[in-house]
Amino acid sequence: MTRKRVLSGIQPSGKLHLGNLVGALQNWVSLQDKYDCFFFIADYHALTTGYDNVKALPGYIKDVAIDLLAVGLDPKKCVLFKQSDVTAHCELHLLFSMITPLSWLERVPTYKSKIAELKGKDLGTYGFLGYPVLQAVDILLYKPAFVPVGEDQLPHLELTREISRRFNHFYGDIFPEPKALLTHVPTMPGLDGRKMSKSYGNTIALSDTSDDIKKKVNSMITDPARVKKEDIGHPDVCTVFSYHKIFNQAGVPAIEQECKEASRGCVACKKEFLSHLLEILEPIQKRRREIETDENKLHDILADGAKKAKSIASTTLKEAKEAMGLIS
Ligand code: TRP
Ligand code: SF4
């Protein structure tokens, strides 16, 4: 029986962190055993908002590639590639741009919210408005059954299906209507309790050393009302407690009780969380060290992935060009 196909992508916007791990990457790793998986680094997408400063981009692309392998994506089980290595993405983007109504793009909720979030940056560009068209291309070129994404990406997936329907309506049945594979995860709080995000500087990166992580966790603020260990605690306002809920579910009832009756100190509580976290991160750190010593291998993995991606993408592109009257 042939496996159903799954595809997803991630933007290279810096080193990946715990939020990415729990929100997406752990899921991708488990999907590679069940599906025909394609995962890619969306470097063109990074240019839609980062076009004015590309100095860091090569490093970001490399960091993400290493992170993907370090978390356990296995090139023997899935196809890993870089978007810009597969020129079919550009060509199908041009074709889709012919049929995508501007009004569809202007009403995508991420369009206005990103502009508001990055105010001060000129996002009045053709490329930025076309972000979801490019995403539709990324997806439809590979005709996947499922696209694992977080909730924030659902509007992009809906637009992908709309573009697919519109294309098929004009030119015949070429594209599928892929479904989201929703990753239900708690939002990962950052060290300061706000959402974990590179732009807040509150992350634990997958590439942090165990020492860095210890320092970060030890300097976290817990329950501000707990000055002394004898003060009773309020776990619900404590980010360390939120982390226990994510990384140490079995321990949660006892921690909650001991915190509330002041029989547990914050230092010991952090230590317990750290041991659970490092158990997850140390194998990732070890794989990272192996990959970092072999740059050629990293290059070969992406080259091989691009070759596999191209063979599928170019077939789909040819179908689309024929359907649109460009090849007879
Ligand atoms: N927009 C996605 C994000 O920011 C990244 C992305 C680009 C993507 N192309 C994709 C995700 C195709 C899934 C499928 O997370
Ligand atoms: Fe937070 Fe643990 Fe301290 Fe309670 S004991 S306030 S849960 S760190």
What is the domain partition of the chain in residue ranges? 5-188+295-323, 210-289
Residue 1 confidence (pLDDT): 72
d(CA 239, CA 190): 8
DSSP SS3 for 325? coil
Q: Contact 129/106 with Cβ under 8 angstroms? A: yes
The encoded tokens of residue 137 equal 């291309």
320, pLDDT greater than 80: yes
Digit-coded pLDDT (tens) for 143-186 = 999 999 988 999 999 999 999 999 999 999 999 999 999 877 77
User: Which top CATH class is 5-188+295-323?
Assistant: alpha beta
217: pLDDT confidence band, cut at 50, 70 and 90?
A: very high
Digit-coded pLDDT (tens) for 280-297 = 999 999 999 999 999 899
For a mutational test of ligand 1's pocket, the pick from 156, 158, 183, i.e. the residue with the most ligand atoms closer than 8 A to its C-beta, is 156
- Beta-bridge partner residues of 37: 6, 78
229, pLDDT greater than 90: no
195 is a catalytic site residue:
yes
Q: Which CATH superfamily is domain 210-289 in?
A: Tyrosyl-Transfer RNA Synthetase (1.10.240.10)
187: pLDDT confidence band, cut at 50, 70 and 90?
A: confident
Residue 213 confidence (pLDDT): 97
Ligand 1 touching residue 135 (CB < 6 A): yes
179 is a catalytic site residue:
no
Active-site residue, from 195, 297, 307, 318 = 195
Active-site residue, from 77, 198, 216, 308 = 198
Instruction: Indicate the average pLDDT of the chain.
Output: 96
Ligand 1 touching residue 147 (CB < 6 A): yes
Residue 184 confidence (pLDDT): 77
Model pTM score: 0.95
List the binding residues for L-tryptophan.
138
List the binding residues.
11-13, 19-20, 138, 150-152, 195-199
Percent of the chain with pLDDT over 90: 92
* Residue whose CA is at the smallest distance from ligand 1 atom 9: 135
Residue 209 confidence (pLDDT): 95
Q: What distance, in Å, lies between the first and last C-alpha atoms of the chain?
A: 34
198 is a catalytic site residue:
yes
Residue 138 confidence (pLDDT): 98
